[in-house]
Structure formats: structure tokens, C-alpha cells
Amino acid sequence: MSARSPGPDATRESEARAAGPRRLAIVTGASAGIGAVYAERLARDAYDLVLVARRRDRLEELAERLGRTHDRRVDVLAADLGSAEGVRAVEARIAAEPALELMVNNAGFGTTGLFAELDRDAEEEEVRLNVLALLRLTHAAVSVFKARGHGSVINVSSLAGFQPAPFNATYAATKAFVNSFTQAVSEELRGSGVRLQLLCPGFTRTEFQEVAGVSTERIPAFAWMTPEAVVEASLDALRKGELLVIPGGGNKLMGAVIRALPASLARRASAALLRRTLGGD
């Protein structure tokens, strides 16, 4: 029989288990990128999980691996959050999980190009997912959390939500909604025991740019973060109860500059950046 001292992860898991009853997190957009990393990290932190996205095969693979590695209950809920039916399925799950402690509204996508030339249905779908699904799932979660006097919601927004973004007009507007909405609801919940976090990442290496049809060649290496570093910053801030989280020093600086600029200048700078990124000049 070999006796090995447990590593830091194993120690954290056993401490979390010893600390109290099981707790559960629901993560949307868990089949890729930032959402998959949330799932990984939360399983390590001894959360049971419900993983939500459209690609069931990817969710099942991740659930099987996390359940086995971390001895957690990891369920798959395949749902299209661009549809009313998909959102209702997750709302029902929120209401049916008494151990729910954390709701991560992460699923989202962006469209890029001249608004007048983009597909109208895709623009609408972007609003359905990034705004309406997030609004309904935040409502479903905070209403049960408020009655229990505890629970947290992380709403994944973007640095793009701080200013109008030509060539990303709809995406930036959806994230501006998330920024305003999350901060306002957080204030309403002050003293209730329920916490909201507004996470505003910058460029993060996931499938996002590919889905948005953006070439990443012209984005300088220093501008990128890994999804692991983004999730680490988010969960660290969650422990501290911080509302607004901009991961990374460069992104923090960028966020501060954007917010300090006059609106007309911010708009033009954003257009120039996007034009350059898209290879327009």
C-alpha cells in the first residue's frame, strides 16, 4: 500500500467536502472555451454541476471526465438558449435544484461586419442568447437565491460592453445591456445575501473568434488571455465578493481608458481597432 500526500487540488476538494453539504453550479456554454474551464474549475472546487449548451456530445464527454476525476455529480442539459423552449428547460432546472449555489451565464456569441450587411436572423439570435436568455436565467436564479438568503450569479459580459463598437454593433450592445443590467440588479440585492458578478474579459483564446468569423492574425499576442486565467480571476473575485471583474492588467487599463474617453473618441478608436483587426486597412 502506498501512502502519498494529497496534492493541493485533492486537499482543496476534501476540505470543501468536509466543510458542509453538497453545492451545485449550473454553467451555460460549457461545451467550449470559458464555460468548459468554469466547469473544470468548479468540479475541482467540489461543486456538482449541470452543464448546458447545444452540443450534447461535447457536454457528455466533459461530464464523464469531470464526474470520474472529481467524484462529482455532473449532469448534461442539452438546450438551445436562443429558443424559448431551451431557456424554459434551464429555468425549470434552476427551480428543481435545492443545492444550487452558483449560476454562470456564460453562453454567448458575436457577429462581426457591417450591420446593414449582416444576416438579420443571426442578429436577432445574438440578442436572444446574449440578452434574453441571460435576463431570464438571472431572474430564475436570483428569485430562488433571494428566498434562501444565499447564492451567486456570474454574468459573462465583455470589454466590448463599455462602448459602442462599429463592426461589432449588436454584440457590443448586448454586452452593454449585460453591464448595466447586472450592476443594477446587484444593487437591488444589496444585503440579501445574493451576489452578482459582472465579468468583462478582453480577447480570450477560445472558439469565439472563429464563430464570429474574425481572423486573429492581426491581434497582438500580448492582448490575449487564456480562458484558464479569465476563470481564475472570476472565481478569485467571487470569493472576495467583487461585482465588476476585468481580468488581466492590460484589460483593466483598456477598460479604464475606454471609460475615460469622450464617447465620440471611444467610438472612433473602437472602429479603427476593429477595422485593423478585420484587415480592412
In contact, 99 and 21? CB cutoff 8 Å: yes
Q: Which of 75, 89, 109, 232 binds ligand NAP (CB under 6 A)?
A: 109
Q: Does the protein bind ligand NAP through residue 139 (CB under 6 A)?
A: no
Stretch that binds ligand NAP, among 100-108, 182-190, 240-248, 256-264 (CB under 6 A): 100-108
**80 contributes a contact to ligand NAP by CB under 6 A:** yes
Asked whether the beta carbons of 34 and 204 are under 8 A apart, the reply is yes
Q: Catalytic pick from 47, 162, 171, 203?
A: 171
251 binds ligand NAP (CB under 6 A): no
Among residues 82 and 248, whose Cβ is nearest to ligand NAP?
Answer: 82
The Cα 173–Cα 169 span in angstroms is 6
CB of 81 or CB of 235, closer to ligand NAP: 81
Q: What is the DSSP letter of 221?
A: G
Which of residues 47, 82, 101, 152 is near ligand NAP by CB under 6 A? 82
Residue 171 designated active-site: yes
Burial per residue of 122-137, b for 16 or more beta-carbon CB atoms within 10 angstroms, e otherwise: ebebbbbbbbbbbbbb
- CA atoms of 181 and 83, how far apart (whole Å): 21
From the list 205, 210, 215, the residue with the least C-alpha distance to 248 is 205
55 binds ligand NAP (CB under 6 A): yes
Closest CB to ligand NAP among residues 146, 164? 164
Print the binding letters for residues 154-193 with ligand NAP: x by CB under 6 A, - otherwise.
Answer: --x-x-----------------------------------
CA distance 108 to 208: 9
**Neighbouring C-beta atoms of residue 110, cutoff 10 Å:** 21
Does 106 contact ligand NAP by CB under 6 A?
A: yes
Cα–Cα distance measured from residue 107 to residue 29, given in angstroms and rounded to the nearest whole number = 4
Q: How far apart are CA 100 and CA 58, in angstroms?
A: 23
132 binds ligand NAP (CB under 6 A): no
Name residue, grid cell 449541470.
50
| Contacting residue, 104, 208, 214, 251, with ligand NAP by CB under 6 A | 208
Of the candidates 190, 193, 209, 189, which has an alpha carbon nearest to the alpha carbon of residue 201?
Answer: 209
β-partners of residue 76 are: 51
244 DSSP β-pair partners: 198
Residue 16 Cβ vs ligand NAP, minimum distance, rounded to whole Å: 25
Instruction: Considering only residues 10 through 49, tell me which ones interact with ligand NAP, judged by CB under 6 A.
Output: 28-35
Among 46, 81, 231, 237, binds ligand NAP (CB under 6 A): 81
For ligand NAP, the binding residues (CB under 6 A) are: 28-35, 53-55, 80-82, 106-110, 129, 156, 158, 201, 203-204, 206-208, 211
Residues with active-site annotation: 171
